[in-house]
Amino acid sequence: MINISVMVSGGGSNLQAIMDAVADGRIADGRIALVLSSRDGVYALSRAQRAGLKTVVISKEEYKDADKKADAILAALSKAETGLVITAGYMSVIHEKVCAAYAGRMINIHPALLPKFGGLGYYGLRVHRAVLEAGEAETGATVHYVDTEGIDTGEIIMQRTVPVFADDTPETLQKRVLEEVEHDLIVEATALVVRELAAAGPGDEAAKRIARSDSDEAFERGGENGNPVE
């Protein structure tokens, strides 16, 4: 059984999708061991607490030093015996040493069809506004591994598409991507990664490197609504 830690910052709709999938068996080999938030008082924490899940808040206000914040995150993930980290709406910069510690075991969901509309500054409504300004006929969401090469540069695990309509606004497009593809996509990708990690077995770090490329050191800023902004 793979312990999953979900990192959040907001409403937690993708967290809820993961929780539901664990509960009904679509994610059969994993359990949520921790919900870690960069902000106190967010609805994602309420969702987790109602479900009886362990929660922790590690904020930049409490940890102004980036290294100390990273150490606190690593300590929380370690205490939860984390086997997989999912950034699902986590809108805070993740320190490189956190990502390196979970190389091949950290995934992110981004609300666009990477490599398009990813990277620095592409988060939230900014992503969808850019899609509309570019005149794209379709958009979607991407689940990818986190790496150290840059922002949203990790190997793609899977993608899903939705159409872009002529009368779309950033808000309507964001809603379509979230409701029609993101929730299902994060569940499918999580189930896939969890199965492969479980099959690899404990201590088999080479097999745990599920990413197919050799560039597997992890540094990412990610989340349900794109890159972190802090």
pLDDT digits (tens, 9 = 90+) for 23-51: 999 999 999 999 999 999 999 999 999 99
Question: Does residue 95 have an active-site annotation?
Answer: no
- Amino acid 159: pLDDT: 98
Q: How far, CA to CA in Å, does 112 sit from each of 76, 77, 90, 187?
A: 30, 28, 16, 17
Identify the weakest region by mean pLDDT among 14-18, 57-61, 123-127, 214-218.
Answer: 214-218
- Amino acid 201: pLDDT: 73
Across all residues in the chain, what is the average pLDDT? 88
Q: Measure the CA–CA gap between 203 and 44, rounded to whole angstroms.
A: 32
- Amino acid 21: pLDDT: 98
Q: Measure the CA–CA gap between 158 and 165, rounded to whole angstroms.
A: 23
pLDDT in tens, 143-153: 999 887 778 88
Q: What is the CATH number of domain 2-109+144-155+182-208?
A: 3.40.50.170
- Report residue 204's pLDDT band, with 50, 70 and 90 as the boundaries: low
The fraction of the chain above a pLDDT of 70, given in percent, is: 87
Taking residue 209's Cβ as centre, other Cβ atoms within 10 Å add up to 17
Task: State yes or no: pLDDT of 181 exceeds 80.
Answer: yes
Which tokens sit at 110?
A: 């981004």
- Amino acid 148: pLDDT: 75
Q: Measure the CA–CA gap between 54 and 77, rounded to whole angstroms.
A: 11
CA dihedral sign of residues 178, 148, 117, 69: positive
Phi, psi (degrees; rounded to nearest 5) at 151: -90, 125
Annotated catalytic residue within 95, 110, 128, 183: 110
Angle at 230 between CA 40 and CA 101, to 5 degrees: 85
